[in-house]
Structure 1
């Protein structure tokens, strides 16, 4: 019993230390100190081991100043885009510092200043690694504390992950803890004039005040909607610059992938053929980009009889323990290998690598009857993987579909190259662990 008590005390002490360290690492001065030591000074020391300083003095000075500027600019961008609680820092680190280093190198190139490419490269790698490790540690051990202005959604907000709430019933109570950011439903018709005056004064004084809807969206990674008109997208169409570029990137990378993976695809096809009788490729009509029908290709993972006998809406939904799945099918579904024939769909422009998963005709018709704005998800090309696939499990009911739709809307709202890159990284994790695979 004493041993168990000592173990419990030791575990509690380690957790307290981890939380204190996470709180410290969240502060700007510690983050910047680590970034400057690793991203500015360490590359100089490493370079000094291989070069003679007097021979490269101009390059040293320029590179030292340039990497310092790149670290500071990248950090400002990083802090800006991750200011909202729940913002995923991992999606912002690489683009923030890639942009800042790119800007500094472009300036050096235009001004024809000498600099060391290797020093810049080492600085970029060390800086991004520092912030990735830091963000991971802080996300794991630190819980944000926010002040909540009384509203009807207290219970809903209390269930959100990663946040500790302090409920303020009156402005006087909120004044006693002015260090806490405030969260309030700015559209609440029941918000009293006293609260409105207090919030205006606090905003003028520099206190951080968040809108409830923004916080919920950021923490959950979903856009909650009841009607399409309530979406706060600014405009309904996704990023008009990245969208056409993505189409060419998809086609080029799909062509390369088909060429490189062709021997592997043949081996998988042979395994399926030897495992159970029937065609290797499963074809099915799906609803795709702009609501148009197309034929989607997959490696067959179920028995042929099941596909013929289960030609119903319920048959279109696959459970984790579905008896229709074959022996080879379980492996290729878990690792997402069954989706690889869709490389052809990507190449010809019917699909993308990343986007909302295309649904069958029956399921789409059913969802559209239950959710009037369901078709909005077709505003982007469907994908092999997507934001919903790396965040949600199986979809077996209308409620699950609504939740999946919220993930899809979040993807459309934050449609960008960096969001796609992050989803791609998460998909690799799903393929290796099987978590979230369907």
Structure 2
């Protein structure tokens, strides 16, 4: 794993992304050369068109990230990967056309662009055919030794078996568990733990002890550490591997002393606010016709107002009202009691189902972003009735209100719509990860990945 701006990126993803950038740059250059040869144009040195090549490669690479071209499915399914490549290149070409309209000097001509696009598709698919096995092989995965062989260690073993795992379990060391995992080696059978870890060619030791109180093998851990092998606590390991804060293993002291939740965010917060104001103004301006059109359609299909206001809990538990296009019948909550939305909820209208899937119902919330009550990126604000129940049921739920709520967020792009306490638990784990590791880079990644959720709606209700 490589950490970029407090966010972890798997080695396989980083290698594939670098290969893709190289392929896209070459495709851009070849597209220019081929077209120049066709029309008999004299070719100048490559430095003269370097800006166009870089803009071409960057726009298509950003499109690859936005459509999920580096997700686990894309890394392990050739058909899935090719579909994502085709969509990404198509989106990238649209972006190139916009750039050509705004700044003609930074984009290819249409003829060059077509050739470069074809070459890009061929090159990206070829990279996945040639390096697919290498990317998914154990050569790019870390070798991990588990110190502990109980239920916690079993979770790490199961995670290693999922598609896209960035590590393999090289060894299991039982630390006195009543029923250790099969193939675990008892600690008493290992004369020198540090040498045992080195012999397994491990790069990391994960503490997965069932009971840490008065049980930490400090001498063993110190000797392992001095060999150059990383020693990691299970909560930190799970955070890095899953992109969420694991509520089953985490404790208050880990949250207090771990890296994250930094208060020194003055510059990044100012940048975030400037982006929110600029983007919300632009979006309200350009989306006004779309909002007006669907407001009319909502009004025509069912009785009641086209918009509705709903009380939500915001930053520091302060209540505020959000504005959305109405997607349910007017009598959806006749008793006045908050009700979770369900799959194929009968209260949702036909127009409502469509605007929920493509997130058009969320557009009026840009007004809340402009006022400063929300941000574009952050945990989704919940209704006060739900918050009261969730704070009683879920540890650390109140901590998600330490950051401004958002229209989209880390939980929204990683977990489908939730309509239960258990769903809320999983989404809270992602929200806590965002609150702990917030950076402009993570915000940008979430905004890009939101496009994937819009194009392939999963669980929108």
Residue of structure 1 equivalent to 2:323: 297
Correspondence list, 1:165-314, <5 A: 165-169=169-173, 170=190, 171=193, 173-178=196-201, 180-185=202-207, 188=212, 189-192=214-217, 195-203=220-228, 207-225=229-247, 226-231=250-255, 232-235=258-261, 237=263, 239-309=265-335, 311-312=336-337
Specify the SS of the correspondent of 1:295.
strand
Residues 183/46 of structure 1: CA separation in 2 closer, same or farther (3 Å cut)? farther
Distance 1:371 1:382 in 2: 18
Aligned equivalent of 1:398, options 404, 415, 421: 421
| Pairwise CA distance, 1:268 | 0.5
Q: Is 1:159–2:181 an aligned residue pair? A: no
Specify the SS of the correspondent of 1:353.
strand
Specify the SS of the correspondent of 1:282.
strand
User: After alignment, is 162-171 or 335-344 more displaced?
Assistant: 162-171
Residues 263/27 of structure 1: CA separation in 2 closer, same or farther (3 Å cut)? closer
Distance 1:25 1:258 in 2: 39
What do the CA deviations read for 1:49-89 (whole angstroms, capped 9, x no partner)? 97979x879x68xx89xx9xxxxxxxxxxxxxxxxxxxx9x
Specify the SS of the correspondent of 2:412.
coil
Correspondence list, 1:37-186, <5 A: 43=29, 141-142=136-137, 144=141, 146-151=143-148, 152=150, 153-160=152-159, 161=162, 162=165, 163-169=167-173, 170=190, 171=193, 173-178=196-201, 180-185=202-207
Residue of structure 1 equivalent to 2:412: 389
Distance 1:32 1:234 in 2: 28
Specify the SS of the correspondent of 1:395.
coil
Specify the SS of the correspondent of 1:408.
helix
Distance 2:133 2:437 in 1: 24
Distance 2:288 2:20 in 1: 46
Q: TM-score, normalised by structure 1?
A: 0.67
Specify the SS of the correspondent of 1:241.
helix
Q: Which ranges of structure 2 fall in alignment gaps of 5 or more residues?
A: 1-10, 55-74, 76-104, 114-119, 174-189
Q: TM-score, normalised by structure 2?
A: 0.64
Q: Is the Cα–Cα contact under 8 Å of residues 171 and 200 in structure 2 kept in the other structure?
A: no
Q: How many residues align?
A: 354
| Pairwise CA distance, 1:264 | 1.1
Residues 47/239 of structure 1: CA separation in 2 closer, same or farther (3 Å cut)? farther
| Pairwise CA distance, 1:410 | 0.7
| Pairwise CA distance, 1:183 | 2.8
Q: Is 1:340–2:366 an aligned residue pair? A: no
| Pairwise CA distance, 1:235 | 4.2
Residues 46/25 of structure 1: CA separation in 2 closer, same or farther (3 Å cut)? farther
Residues 39/195 of structure 1: CA separation in 2 closer, same or farther (3 Å cut)? farther
RMSD, matched Cα: 4.3
Residues 242/139 of structure 1: CA separation in 2 closer, same or farther (3 Å cut)? farther
Distance 1:265 1:374 in 2: 33
Residues 222/238 of structure 1: CA separation in 2 closer, same or farther (3 Å cut)? farther
Residues 138/215 of structure 1: CA separation in 2 closer, same or farther (3 Å cut)? farther
Q: Which ranges of structure 1 fall in alignment gaps of 5 or more residues?
A: 1-23, 68-87, 89-115
Q: Is 1:427–2:450 an aligned residue pair? A: yes
Specify the SS of the correspondent of 1:390.
helix
| Pairwise CA distance, 1:138 | 7.5
| Pairwise CA distance, 1:186 | 8.6
Q: Is the Cα–Cα contact under 8 Å of residues 390 and 427 in structure 1 kept in the other structure?
A: yes
Q: Is the Cα–Cα contact under 8 Å of residues 340 and 420 in structure 2 kept in the other structure?
A: no
| Pairwise CA distance, 1:150 | 2.7
Correspondence list, 1:413-424, <5 A: 413-424=436-447
Residue of structure 2 equivalent to 1:411: 434
Residues 334/33 of structure 1: CA separation in 2 closer, same or farther (3 Å cut)? closer
Distance 1:436 1:185 in 2: 35
Specify the SS of the correspondent of 1:305.
coil
| Pairwise CA distance, 1:221 | 0.8
